[in-house]
Chains A and B, each alone.
Chain A
């Protein structure tokens, strides 16, 4: 099973990034082989739809679950269509969240925020 997590740095000692779509990197962690791969998030700099593009990256890298503090509705839709489950991170450390997930202690992310797409208004 592969876990995807938005991370601030390319290291297992990193913290979870607060933003899913705008995170600089993703960690893809294979629970079975304990292998870690860090991916650049090409969506980080995009003007709109970052969540969709970031979710596409997760799907393309064949992750089975995503651990993230929050997730927008469009990204959630992409992930749902690909049968990827979204869990909510409960602490800052990447390692702690992986352990908590393996122990079955992370809750499913149930609040999906409406995107900030469009560019009108304030």
Chain B
């Protein structure tokens, strides 16, 4: 059972929710797909960490063979190539490794070369298996890392798995939720929060994923995000109250459910709700 946790921007509590759900489930897997800023591992402090570098293939020019026909430059949709002073230049960070230019060059002046763009780590924290994807700064796309993270986990997909997605709704998020059985959208109780929620709401609808919303940092009174859910008939899974203690645990990178019974109860009940929702979805689909 794969459950993806999303939000329109960072800092809404996406990591709080996914880390605590994975921890309260006891035997589970947590995958940090927020490869530009993975911080789930700060909470889990995993042990026995194994690491693997991830590389992509980028073109390398042999300037002796290149005759400057520029066919490769015209072809490259990402504009990763330029021809200056009788020399082809490859902008490695812009290249998306489609391989097109290499196939196309009539002079066979381009060949493949491996370039490391980041790594994946696997470790354990109690009985939670923790996967972390890390993209080196400046790299164009973390998608190869996310593909690797999700493929690694595939054989264990029936285990309870929580995917901490990158913020936003760009293609890297789509890659992260592609194989998810259920999506949890985390939202803040402000007008701005509604805007962010709407972004991911559109995305999960587009992918036809069953989903529900967790309202975070709730205080007494009007909650625009709650109103949005009611208006759109979206299932509200839970409301996490705004409280200082949780904030402090969180900023000390402590896992709330492992420290405090109150949060243990809160996230257990959220987990049960989510499990029921997923079961409901799978039975109603079959």
Q: Is the interface of A mostly helix, strand, loop or mixed?
A: loop
B6: min CB distance to chain A, Å: 13
CA distance A117 to B17 in the complex (A): 30
Chain A residues with CB below 8 A from B9, complex form: 122
Which of B162-170, B179-187, B219-227 lies at the interface with chain A? B162-170
Chain B residues with CB below 8 A from A91, complex form: none
Determine whether the beta carbon of A46 is less than 8 Å from that of B79. yes
Answer yes or no: B97 CB below 8 A from chain A CBs: no
A121 in complex: contacting residue of B77, B78, B83, B166, CB < 8 Å: B166
The answer to whether residues A118 and B141 also contact, given A47-B77, A52-B91 and a CB cut-off of 8 A, is yes
A113: min CB distance to chain B, Å: 13
Name the residue on A nearest B73 (C-beta). Answer: A56
The answer to whether residues A81 and B85 also contact, given A122-B9, A122-B167 and a CB cut-off of 8 A, is yes
B82 in complex: contacting residue of A50, A78, A117, A121, CB < 8 Å: A78
CA distance A93 to B94 in the complex (A): 33
Answer yes or no: A59 CB below 8 A from chain B CBs: yes
CA distance A81 to B79 in the complex (A): 17
Answer yes or no: B89 CB below 8 A from chain A CBs: yes
Determine whether the beta carbon of A118 is less than 8 Å from that of B91. no
A20: min CB distance to chain B, Å: 13
A52: min CB distance to chain B, Å: 5
Determine whether the beta carbon of A119 is less than 8 Å from that of B91. no
User: Interface size of A by Cβ–Cβ distance < 8 Å?
Assistant: 24
Answer yes or no: A70 CB below 8 A from chain B CBs: no
The digit string for B59-91, where 1 denotes a CB below 8 A from any CB of A, is 000000000000001001111111111010101
Determine whether the beta carbon of B79 is less than 8 Å from that of A48. yes
The answer to whether residues A121 and B89 also contact, given A47-B77, A56-B82 and a CB cut-off of 8 A, is no
Name the residue on A nearest B95 (C-beta). Answer: A49
CA distance A49 to B94 in the complex (A): 7
Determine whether the beta carbon of B79 is less than 8 Å from that of A53. yes
The answer to whether residues A119 and B80 also contact, given A52-B94, A78-B89 and a CB cut-off of 8 A, is no
Q: Which of B131-155 contact A (CB under 8 A)?
A: 138-142
A26: min CB distance to chain B, Å: 16
Determine whether the beta carbon of B171 is less than 8 Å from that of A52. no
CA distance A122 to B36 in the complex (A): 11
- Given A120-B35, A122-B168, 18 more A-B residue pairs with CB atoms under 8 Å apart are A48-B78, A49-B76, A49-B78, A50-B79, A52-B79, A52-B80, A56-B73, A56-B82, A56-B84, A78-B82, A81-B87, A81-B89, A117-B140, A118-B141, A119-B141, A120-B36, A120-B171, A121-B167
Q: List 16 A-B contacts (CB under 8 A).
A: A49-B79, A49-B80, A52-B80, A52-B82, A52-B91, A56-B73, A56-B82, A78-B84, A81-B85, A81-B89, A114-B138, A117-B94, A118-B140, A120-B141, A120-B168, A121-B36
